[in-house]
């Protein structure tokens, strides 16, 4: 039954990790904080269709510093030529981070507490010995990715 499938899917969240359901970083649509929000750029962003867009600084996609919520663009006058940095500074939506190997059940709990329902996924960068650990940004995960996983459970009938 569908109820059984959903229950099994939910139980499996303890064994699955973020990496298995996230959107890979190369497929994540992001914007530089220097992007100017003129009419063609706003049209392009709306056309792409995502609700939330990670924003990076210093020309470094590994350095995500903010989140642009597309709804925030509704009240913007394109002729003001505001930058993404200015709009993000005004709204200050916080960016959540999770590790690539976090169990989905843990991420689901944190989504239930917060309002974001989106997190950037980072992985420890293995470099030279004795260096302080650094992180690579490897993806993005949302509540949608987890719900999808719950609904997809396959029950093998033996
Ligand atoms: P949206 O509301 O923007 O459609 P959802 O949270 O419903 O986003 O997620 C739908 C799918 O899109 C998920 O697989 C999620 O990982 C992915 N996703 C969300 N935002 C982005 C983005 N900015 N770039 C690429 N993929 C994204």
The three-state secondary structure class of 132 is coil
67 lines ligand 1 (CB under 6 A): no
pLDDT value, residue 6: 84
pLDDT value, residue 128: 72
Q: What predicted TM-score, i.e. pTM, was given to this entire model? A: 0.91
Residues in the chain: 158
pLDDT digits (tens, 9 = 90+) for 136-157: 999 999 999 999 998 887 666 6
Other beta carbons less than 10 A from residue 25's beta carbon: 20
Distance CA 52, CA 77 (A): 19
Q: Where does the pLDDT of residue 29 fall: very low under 50, low under 70, confident under 90, or very high at 90 and above?
A: very high
Read off the pLDDT of each residue in 81-99 and give the average, rounded to a whole number.
95
Residue 84 Cα to ligand 1 midpoint, Å, equals: 19
State which of 21, 23, 100, 151 you would mutate to test the pocket of ligand 1, scoring each by most atoms of that ligand within 8 A of its C-beta: 23
């Amino acid at each position: 039954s569908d109820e059984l499938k959903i229950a099994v899917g939910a139980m499996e969240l303890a064994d699955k990790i973020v990496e298995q359901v996230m959107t890979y970083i190369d497929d994540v649509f992001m914007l530089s904080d220097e992007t100017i929000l003129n009419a063609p750029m706003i049209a392009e962003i709306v056309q792409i269709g995502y609700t939330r867009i990670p924003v990076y600084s210093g020309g470094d996609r590994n350095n995500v510093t903010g989140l642009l919520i597309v709804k925030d663009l509704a009240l913007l006058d394109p002729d003001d030529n505001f930058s993404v940095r200015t709009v993000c500074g005004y709204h200050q939506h916080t960016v959540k981070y999770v590790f690539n190997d976090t169990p989905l059940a843990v991420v689901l709990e944190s989504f239930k507490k917060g309002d974001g329902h989106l997190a950037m996924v980072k992985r420890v960068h293995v470099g030279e010995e004795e260096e302080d650990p650094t992180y690579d940004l490897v993806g993005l995960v949302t509540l949608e990715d987890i719900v999808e996983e719950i609904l997809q459970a396959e029950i093998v009938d033996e």
